Amino acid sequence: MTLENVHNKGFTKRARAHMQSMDQAAKDLQRALNLSPEMKYKIVSFLAHTEQAKKASSEEELSAKTPVADEFASLHFLKPELANERPPSSFADLRSPKKSSHKRVWFRSLAAILCVVFLVGAFALVLQMVHQSTSEGSSPPGLYTATNNSVSRLGDKNGHLTTLWSYTLSAPWTEQRIAEYNKSIHRSASAWTTFIDSPVTVSGNIAYFGGNADDPNTHQFHHYLYALNATNGILLWRYQIDGGKSGIPSPVFLQNGQLSTFSLEPGTVTGPPQVAQDLVYILVASKPYALPQYSPSYSIVALDRETGSVHWTTHYFADLSQMSVASDGSMVYTTDANLLMAFNGENGQKQWTKEVSRPNNYSGFFDLHLVNQTILATLSTYAPTDPTSTSSVYAFAATTGELRWESSRINGLISPLMIDQDEVYFGSETGTIAALSLQSGSLIWSYRTKPSEAIVSVKESGGVLYADFTQSGPLQQNLPSKLSLLALDAHHGTLNWKTSLPGTYQSSLMTLGWNESQLIIGNSFLYASLSDGTICSLSISRGLAISCDQLTQDHTIPSLTLIEGSAG
């Protein structure tokens, strides 16, 4: 023990003794005079120093003459400035020692203002977060593209695209990986890589898309619904579609010892994910439609849009199916050949089925839209070698499925429908662009290009209808072709201008080259995706190419999703 410690201990001992003797003397007096217990502490002050006690007594006399209704007024009569102080009623009071009434008021006012500012700020932040997470308008602007195995968000600066982020499912396989895989399946396979299944849907701050990924340990592919943070491309969650929760069978199937790549694999997300209210809906091909021994079937899976947890799943048999979800999430519509089906959006229960006649067993609904309580569907012959294929557009009441109108037959396959307030636009593989009345289905106008020019997609914006077309129709697969673009007056069908896009376009029915995500209008530009993985931005007035960027070397047609606004 140091000398200092000894001194300290001695002082503490003396101080304690001094305090205790003072306390004891006061207690003796308090008892002897039969005073209240609290008087002991008041007597202490008299015992401690006589002069001050005199002063205190005179102050006490004054205060006794004008009593203040404050039991603590007499606590600190030795120090008048402390007379207004009260002991803290809670520990929180200890954090803000009270100096004076004026200061206390000032501090309380400041604290109140800070609290109000904090609460208002927090409320605004919560509102903003809710708004960001739920509303379409707050989606990060940009051009979202899905190529072979990656999804990207591109920023646009005067038509020039820059990559803001890119999410790749997995790297291409190495030779060793291919060899391992071939050994595991006892056959020879070419380089197998992961694929994006669907176009990207951006809702709130989340970008959704379907895609597969392989498990290096089990050599099994699994299909997933991916949810990325649309601002930075970070994976929020992914839902494994095959197996597990949805009960959909294993994704890899063998057909006569061959891996079938032609048909939709089980677990493939077909069409873009659709978001309504708090759910994201996906249509999943759950069995290979090319396998004769199985009845091809589909599943609708409704998941929580924020967490990916499954709300409900329903299965139905169909050869080829499309899905459209009501904006309020109340109903989900799907097709099966010539059947239109409606499911309850909240629990997946089937509500009704509507059947239409079809010209042959190879016909079915190709395209499905829901606009203003009207379901629009295209029925086409999907036998790719049928020269007599025709298409028709049907309109149904969304609530009951009642047929409202049926368009006259159109030669050949037709592109996905473009619908605005009053008109329905489409283009055919035989070079016809037509506008129908949304109310009656009657033909308003039609425009013919050359019969060899197949219309790939049509888009309307600002009273102008844009259409991209090839010189060789989709039936002539794998033939390189130029992709051209024309602009028509949307109300009269007269030609505004026509131009050719750079590069080549290779249409393919197998990949459903009739992809409505290939021509996008927004930010005063046209964006067109080409078969060599190139995206071109063009001036909306003349169709002049401003910039063309090749996103991938995989010769896939990038699907495009545009959220308008400046994204750098």
Partner 1 sequence: MPMDALENSSVQELLILLKQRHIEALDVLYPMYGLAFYRYARHHHLTHEDAEDVVQTIFCRLLDRIESYDEGREGGERWLWRICHNQVIDCLRRQKSSQLPNAEMLVGEFDPDAYLIDQEQVNAFARGWAALDESDRTELKRGRGRGLGRKAWHAAVVKLRDLCRFEE
Binding site for partner 1 (CB under 8 A): 7-8, 11-12, 14-16, 18-25, 28-29, 32-33, 35-54, 56-58, 60-61, 63-64, 67, 69, 71-72, 74-76, 78-79, 82, 85, 87-89, 91, 93-95, 97
Measured from the CB atom, the residue of 10 and 463 that comes closer to partner 1 is 10
For the CB of residue 107, give the shortest distance to partner 1 in the complex, in Å.
13
Measured from the CB atom, the residue of 3 and 94 that comes closer to partner 1 is 94
Asked if 415 contacts 455 with a C-beta cutoff of 8 angstroms, the reply is yes
For the CB of residue 1, give the shortest distance to partner 1 in the complex, in Å.
14
Asked if 524 contacts 482 with a C-beta cutoff of 8 angstroms, the reply is no
Report the b/e string of 291-319 with b at 16+ CB within 10 A.
Answer: eeeeebbbbbbbbebbebeebbbbbbebb
For the CB of residue 76, give the shortest distance to partner 1 in the complex, in Å.
6
Measured from the CB atom, the residue of 38 and 136 that comes closer to partner 1 is 38
CA distance linking residue 456 with residue 84, whole number of Å: 85
For the CB of residue 158, give the shortest distance to partner 1 in the complex, in Å.
59
Asked if 146 contacts 558 with a C-beta cutoff of 8 angstroms, the reply is yes
For the CB of residue 84, give the shortest distance to partner 1 in the complex, in Å.
12
Measured from the CB atom, the residue of 20 and 327 that comes closer to partner 1 is 20
Instruction: Give which of 65, 95, 59 is closest to 80, Cα–Cα.
Output: 59
What does the longest C-alpha to C-alpha distance in the chain come to? 123
For the CB of residue 8, give the shortest distance to partner 1 in the complex, in Å.
5
CA distance linking residue 559 with residue 260, whole number of Å: 23
Instruction: Give which of 366, 371, 360 is closest to 396, Cα–Cα.
Output: 371
Give the number of C-alpha atoms closer than 13 A to the C-alpha of residue 140, restricted to the C-beta side.
20
Beta bridge partners, 526, equal: 521, 538
CA distance linking residue 94 with residue 88, whole number of Å: 6
For the CB of residue 93, give the shortest distance to partner 1 in the complex, in Å.
8
Report the b/e string of 339-374 with b at 16+ CB within 10 A.
Answer: bbbbbebeebeebeebebebbeebbbbbbbbbbeeb
Measured from the CB atom, the residue of 44 and 377 that comes closer to partner 1 is 44
Helix 3-32 and helix 39-48, axial crossing angle in degrees, nearest 10: 120
Measured from the CB atom, the residue of 28 and 136 that comes closer to partner 1 is 28
Give the per-residue SS3 of 160-213: EEEEEEEEECCCCCCHHHHHHHHHHHCCCCCCCCCCECCCCEEECCEEEEEEEE
Measured from the CB atom, the residue of 20 and 101 that comes closer to partner 1 is 20
Measured from the CB atom, the residue of 91 and 188 that comes closer to partner 1 is 91
CA distance linking residue 316 with residue 334, whole number of Å: 10
Measured from the CB atom, the residue of 77 and 167 that comes closer to partner 1 is 77
For the CB of residue 110, give the shortest distance to partner 1 in the complex, in Å.
18
For the CB of residue 106, give the shortest distance to partner 1 in the complex, in Å.
18
CA distance linking residue 401 with residue 374, whole number of Å: 9
For the CB of residue 80, give the shortest distance to partner 1 in the complex, in Å.
10
Match 């190495």 to its residue by tokens: 174
